[in-house]
Amino acid sequence: MELLKMFLTFARIGGLTFGGGYAMLPLLQREVVEKYGWATEEELADYYAIGQCTPGIIAVNTATFIGQKRAGTVGGIVATLGVVFPSIVIISLIAGIITNFSELAVVKNAFAGIRVCVCVLILNSVIKLWKSAVVDRCCLVIFCIVMCVSLFFSLSPIIIVLCVAVAGCAIKAWEARK
């Protein structure tokens, strides 16, 4: 029963999210953290960071981590299948007909509206992550450095996350020695 609930929850998240993994964060937050308690806010942020550094789609990786934490390997597989199932069905249905309608003004306008909505959802997720991630002056400094590096240099997110992980370990070790 738990696996079915997990599959249906991730299928709902996968089916109701437009705009990719970042847009999925508010739904993951509400369902996984607030409703079911399958992960904490900090764990979700960690899964998202690791999911961005590992091969594959962030949302799928995150679902896999959450499912595995909750119900082992089978849970990881079930959550992953749940999150991708709606996309496979929807894409299969749309793929054959989208080219016939993509030039219609109503379709272009609908996609323009969806893009704006996705931007707002991502901003909302950033604000929620900010509250749980930037907890002291040190985290604020790291945030500012990473923001500047990402804006002005085209470094891989993997390199940035690895550097910040090393910096975080070094800073916490230094603080522990004080």
What are the pLDDT digits (tens) for 86-145?
Answer: 988 988 887 777 777 778 888 889 888 988 988 888 888 888 888 888 988 989 999 999
Q: Are residues 26 and 88 in the same domain?
A: yes
φ/ψ (deg, to 5) at 153: -130, 155
- Give the model confidence (pLDDT) of 89-99 as tens digits: 988 887 777 77
What lies within 8 Å, CB to CB, of 33 at 6+ separation is 39, 40, 41, 44
Q: Are residues 141 and 128 in the same domain?
A: no
Are residues 75 and 95 in contact, defined by beta-carbon separation less than 8 angstroms? no
Q: Are residues 31 and 77 in the same domain?
A: yes
Q: Are residues 24 and 110 in the same domain?
A: yes
Q: Are residues 93 and 128 in the same domain?
A: yes
Examine the pLDDT at 72 and tell me if it is beyond 70. Answer: yes
pLDDT > 70 in the chain, percent: 98
Say how far apart CA 82 and CA 5 lie, in whole Å.
10
Residue 12 token pair:
């709902």
Residue 26 is part of which domain span? 2-133
